[in-house]
Amino acid sequence: MMRDAILLVLWLLPASRMKNRLLTACGHRIAPQATARPNLVWRVQAFEMEPYSRISIGNLIKGMRAVRLSAHATIGKQNIITANAAYRGLRGGGRLELGEHAYLTSRHSVDASGSLILGPFSAFAGFGSQVLTHAIDLSRDAQTAYPVVIGERSFVGARCLLLGGSHLPSRSVLAAGSVLTDTERTEQGLWAGVPARFKTKVEGKWFDREVGATRDVYLPDDDRIIPAGF
């Protein structure tokens, strides 16, 4: 309890290299080059931020076994990320992992009891999506939890629902408002609907970019792009 209370206070401090050193001294692993803004972090066993990763302000992160941001990965604002205590101690449970240049934007609700894994350069984008990794197994009359995996260089649109055991293949898009279930899927492309079904192949420069966030702005009226306009 004492360690949890100390970490709670440290996480509320403004971002600084001193904050990173103090968090590391208390058992987390926060690189000097990482940016850790004020957040409400309670009873997270292990928190790791590699160089140039970022977490913005106002997130609630609670009851997690491990949170890991690889280099240049980003968590936006006002997300709720939690895990049920029953799964925090289990192998593979209670984890949030972002690969290199992956990002989770703002105002999402994530039940990571069964874990949420984002592959490198993937984007959990828009706002208002939900991840529900644990549920009741009716056949066994027991609580259960399975991971949700977003493949490398894949994109999740706004207000989606992702259920435990679901997997979005690499280089794929989950359309806004879709529900991703635990159905086996391997085809790369656009998945949409309730439940999400494969629609068509997708392609574009986004899938081959070398940095995480998209900063250029396209102006349809002028048919031109403003570099770093966002």
pLDDT value of position 89: 67
Q: What is the CATH number of the domain that holds 86?
A: 2.160.10.10
Q: Is the residue at 199 inside a domain?
A: yes
H helix runs in the chain, sequence order: 2-11, 17-25, 85-88
Over the stretch 128-170, which tens digit does the pLDDT of each residue have?
999 999 988 899 998 889 999 999 999 999 999 999 999 999 9
Over the stretch 13-71, which tens digit does the pLDDT of each residue have?
999 999 999 999 999 999 999 999 999 999 999 999 999 999 999 999 999 999 999 99
- Which tokens sit at 120? 């490198």
Q: What's the average model confidence in pLDDT over 185-213? A: 92
Band the pLDDT of 85: cuts 50, 70, 90: confident
pTM for the structure as a whole: 0.92
Range of the domain at 61: 39-226
Q: Is 195 exposed, middle or buried (0-12, 13-18, 19+ CB in 10 A)?
A: middle
Q: How many domains does the chain have?
A: 1
How many Å separate Cα 132 from the centre of its chain? 13
Query: Under DSSP, is residue 139 helix (H, G, I), strand (E, B) or coil?
Result: coil
Contact between residue 83 and residue 112 where contact means Cβ atoms under 8 Å apart:
yes
Q: What is the CA radius of gyration of the chain?
A: 18
Question: How far apart (Å, rounded) are the C-alpha atoms in residues 36 and 85?
Answer: 25
pLDDT value of position 198: 96
Residue (of 8, 52, 51) closest to 26 by Cα position:
8
Question: How far apart (Å, rounded) are the C-alpha atoms in residues 98 and 112?
Answer: 13
| Sequential DSSP letters for 154-208 | -EE-TT-EEETT-EEPTT-EE-TT-EE-S------SEEETTTTEEEE----GGGG
Q: Is the residue at 5 inside a domain?
A: no
Residue (of 67, 85, 77) closest to 27 by Cα position:
67
Average pLDDT over the chain reads: 93
